[in-house]
Amino acid sequence: MRLIKECLIYGLLAVGVVILSTHIEAQRKAEQAPRRVGQAPATTPPPVGNPSAVEFEFLDWAQATGYQVDIIDTTTLVVKQTLRFDAQPPQTGTVTLHYPVNVQPVAHGLYAFVARAVLPTGVSPDSVPSDPWQRLPGPPGKPVAIGK
């Protein structure tokens, strides 16, 4: 009888060890799953540096008399500058509006754009903030060789 109990206990322990090791092995494989050839690792793309334009959609563009785009410091959430644009028709066949921007007046740092439409009845609610972008220092001007 004692031999049967010991065999049963050792058998249950062996089953527990197998279950535990299978679970650990499956978890390890999931963490180290190989990527397909040519597949890039999942990473967040770096912020755009010194954007030259902003694009956004506004379905009721025909009602807008203009647009305001705030440049917001992402660390302090303070509006650093508000850009104002006249209303214009969207790009052909879309509701996407495209406006050139000059980010040189703001200090170096990490920012986001927030847009809103100006309507005859007031302003629309703010858009969701853009992905962060970075104001970077520009290159120096072109050197000029000077003779005697």
3-state secondary structure of 48: strand
pLDDT of residue 29: 59
Running DSSP on this structure, what letter comes out for residue 71? E
For residue 75, which phi and psi values (nearest 5 degrees)? -85, -35
CATH code of the domain made up of 48-135:
2.60.40.10
pLDDT of residue 13: 47
Angstrom CA distances, 126 to 26, 65, 117, stand at 46, 16, 8
Q: Which residue, among 32, 37, 39, 103, has the nearest Cα to 71 in the 3D structure?
A: 103
pLDDT of residue 111: 96
For residue 87, which phi and psi values (nearest 5 degrees)? -65, 145
Instruction: Tell me the β-bridge partners of 134.
Output: 49, 110
Spans of all domains in the chain: 1-30, 48-135
* Residues 50, 103 contacting (CB under 8 angstroms): yes
Per-run averaged pLDDT (10 residues), the chain, 148 residues? 60 48 56 55 78 91 92 95 89 82 92 95 94 90 89
CA distance 21 to 25: 6
Strands 48-49 and 133-135: parallel
* Residues 96, 90 contacting (CB under 8 angstroms): yes
CA distance 128 to 115: 8
pLDDT of residue 34: 54
Q: First vs last Cα of the chain: how many Å apart?
A: 110
